[in-house]
Amino acid sequence: MALITKRPKGTFDIVPSEAYRWHTVEKIVSETAEQYGFREIRIPTFEDTGLFVRSVGETTDVVQKEMYTVSAGGKSNFTLRPEGTAGTMRAVLENGILNEGFPQKVYYILSCFRHENVQKGRQREFHQFGCEMVGTESPRADAEVISLAKSVLDRAGVRNIELNINSIGCPKCRAEYHKALKEFFSARKDELCHTCGERLEKNPMRILDCKSEICQEIGKDAPLIIDYLCDDCREHFEQLQKNLQVMGIEYKINPKIVRGLDYYTRTVFEFVTTDIGAQGTVCGGGRYDGLIEQLGGPKTPALGFAMGLERLIITMKNQGCDFMEEKTCDLYIASMGEAAAAKAMALTMQLRDEGFFVEYDLVERGIKPQMKYADKIGAKFVMVLGDNEIETGDARLKNMADGSQTDIKLDDSFTDNFSNALVAEMFKGLDDEMVSLFSGKE
Ligand code: ATP
Ligand code: MG
């Protein structure tokens, strides 16, 4: 039978055999964020389109080319979030989180939607882990969020990853810089791509972030924002660097980073790896001191970052990093006949209540296919129940790793005895001294 439809281009299914990779990174990111005092926030998948236009910026690629704006009930003013910061700041304002004292620190794990050219590491639905800190202008906070991102990458075990930092100044220094950029690009105005031709007047800095080859070529010798920073911004950037040095975090100043979203001010940074080809930016972030005010809130400095989880997982896979092991079945209870099936069910319930991972026959098939299934799911132990076992109350526990069998009683001692067998199997290979240490037995 032909499928009625396939998944949309640029989307992916995370199948059960891959889910453990996601569990691994989700555990690492949430535990690390919480250790830094960030608390989880969950926001809607779609927001008013105006929220993104106002925050991400009218002349950005994201808003001009990549948004999924949905229509519902004949209206089309909602957009699937292309990123998490705008919605998070909207939520922070709407829920009065700003009144709870500074700094406020939140993190999220969410899906984002961008209509982009699909390539490895560039999807139309992808996932971000993001952190946002609100209510501090201090360069200590900049170092803190960078250090959080770095801790996550370190704990994930990724190597060959470089931290690039830059400052893109405040609106005050930006005005001078825009003038210089306009002058620079005007000379080759006719060669710019169509979108950038328009950006020249409205927001010339966006040309530096254009993906078109010709714009990138022309932009190579453009003036650098770092040469136009006002004294305050320069001082802030220097302090950030001092803090990074105190923390022992290596960095490189890359004066070409401008980032693809309009809301950034002062610090911008990226963690880049060369191990996954062109889409090497695993994490990007920075300050956005003007955003909250732009959204109608009080003037409040803030900063954060977002990490692409697909890109993180690709990097981890390429570098052979460790993932958490999938849990496997402790015991499969095979059964023949109704009475044995009922006993299997009862024992299963009992063991699960004690925290064991147990399965039994749900298909009503013969012993042989049941054994095959138990083997396939990697069950550590198998026990077969038939009329005989039910009558005598004696069964045999088979250790699937070495084929050895032990007698086990189906009475009140069952759970304890099964638990002992499982522990013995786990400790096999460790020397006797270690076993007595763990089991508390002399
Ligand atoms: P890029 O320059 O690669 O397009 P970006 O500047 O658009 O990235 P951000 O908006 O800063 O990216 O998003 C933060 C992170 O989210 C990126 O560093 C990347 O890891 C991830 N990311 C962004 N877009 C995609 C995508 N289309 N597919 C997969 N991951 C993405
Ligand atoms: Mg992009």
**Ligand 1: distance of its center to the CA of 308 in Å?**
6
Ligand 1 probe mutation, 25, 162, 166, 281, most atoms within 8 A of CB = 281
pLDDT level of residue 426 (50, 70, 90 thresholds): confident
Query: Which CA distances in Å does 13 have to 6, 16, 21, 392, 394?
Result: 11, 9, 13, 49, 46
Ligand having the closest approach to the CA of 61: 2
Q: Whose CA is nearest to atom 22 of ligand 1?
A: 308
Q: Whose CA is nearest to atom 23 of ligand 1?
A: 308
pLDDT level of residue 79 (50, 70, 90 thresholds): very high
Q: Whose CA is nearest to atom 19 of ligand 1?
A: 308
Distance CA 423, CA 431 (A): 14
Ligand having the closest approach to the CA of 10: 1
pLDDT at 438: 63
User: What's the angle, vertex CA 259, arms to CA 157 and CA 251, rounded to 5?
Assistant: 45
Q: Whose CA is nearest to atom 18 of ligand 1?
A: 283
Give every CB contact of residue 209 below 8 A, 6+ residues apart in sequence: 60, 61, 258, 259, 260
pLDDT at 431: 66
SS (H, E, C) the chain: CCCCCCCCCCCCCCCHHHHHHHHHHHHHHHHHHHHCCCEECCCCCEEEHHHHHHHHCCCCHHHHHHCEEEEECCEEEEEECCCCHHHHHHHHHHCCHHHHCCCEEEEEEEEEECCCCCECCECCEEEEEEEEEECCCCHHHHHHHHHHHHHHHHHHCCCCEEEEEEECCCHHHHHHHHHHHHHHHHCCHHHCCHHHHHHHHHCHHHHHHCCCHHHHHHHCCCCCHHHHCCHHHHHHHHHHHHHHHHHCCCCEECCCCCCCCCCCEEEEEEEEECCCCCCCEEEEEEECCCHHHHCCCCCCCEEEEEEEHHHHHHHHHHCCCCCCCCCCCCEEEEECCHHHHHHHHHHHHHHHHCCCCEEECCCCCCHHHHHHHHHHCCCCEEEEECHHHHHHCEEEEEECCCCCEEEEECCCCHHHHHHHHHHHHHHCCCCHHHHHHHHCCC
Atom of ligand 1 nearest to the CA of 209: 2
Amino acid in the structure at residue 432: D
Q: Whose CA is nearest to atom 9 of ligand 1?
A: 284
Go through the domains of the chain in sequence order and give each one's CATH number: 16-170+230-318 (3.30.930.10), 331-426 (3.40.50.800)
- In the block, residue with structure tokens 């610090």: 267
Residues 427/439, Cβ–Cβ less than 8 Å: yes
Ligand 1 probe mutation, 311, 312, 313, 315, most atoms within 8 A of CB = 311
> Residue 287: beta bridge partners?
265, 303
Ligand 1 probe mutation, 62, 126, 161, 314, most atoms within 8 A of CB = 126
pLDDT at 434: 65
Ligand 1 probe mutation, 279, 303, 305, most atoms within 8 A of CB = 279
* Per-residue pLDDT at 205 exceeds 60: yes
Atom of ligand 1 nearest to the CA of 82: 10
**Ligand 1: distance of its center to the CA of 325 in Å?**
28
**Tens-place pLDDT, residues 29-64:** 999 999 999 999 999 999 999 999 999 999 899 999
Atom of ligand 1 nearest to the CA of 282: 20
pLDDT at 1: 76
Amino acid in the structure at residue 336: M
Ligand 1 probe mutation, 112, 205, 275, most atoms within 8 A of CB = 112
Q: Which residues line ligand 1 (CB under 6 A)?
A: 83, 114, 116, 121-123, 126, 128, 259-261, 279, 281-284, 306, 308, 310-311
User: Which has the minimum average pLDDT: 210-224, 273-287, 382-396?
Assistant: 273-287
**Ligand 2: distance of its center to the CA of 285 in Å?**
13
Instruction: Walk across the sheet containing 68-72 and list its strands.
Output: 46-48, 75-80, 68-72
For residue 140, give both structure tokens.
Answer: 């200590």
pLDDT level of residue 73 (50, 70, 90 thresholds): confident
Tell me the average pLDDT across 150-172: 96
257: exposed, middle or buried (C-beta count within 10 Å: 0-12, 13-18, 19+)? buried
**Tens-place pLDDT, residues 315-351:** 999 999 999 999 999 999 999 999 999 999 999 999 9
Amino acid in the structure at residue 35: Q
Ligand having the closest approach to the CA of 120: 1
Distance CA 23, CA 160 (A): 23
Atom of ligand 1 nearest to the CA of 279: 3
pLDDT at 413: 95
What percent of the chain is modeled with pLDDT above 90? 88
For residue 370, give both structure tokens.
Answer: 């049941």
Q: Give the number of other Cβ atoms within 10 Å of residue 106's Cβ.
A: 23
For residue 392, give both structure tokens.
Answer: 């005598």
Ligand having the closest approach to the CA of 260: 1
Q: Whose CA is nearest to atom 12 of ligand 1?
A: 284
**Ligand 1: distance of its center to the CA of 119 in Å?**
12
* Per-residue pLDDT at 274 exceeds 90: no
User: What's the angle, vertex CA 133, arms to CA 127 and CA 137, rounded to 5?
Assistant: 140
Ligand having the closest approach to the CA of 283: 1
Q: Whose CA is nearest to atom 5 of ligand 1?
A: 260
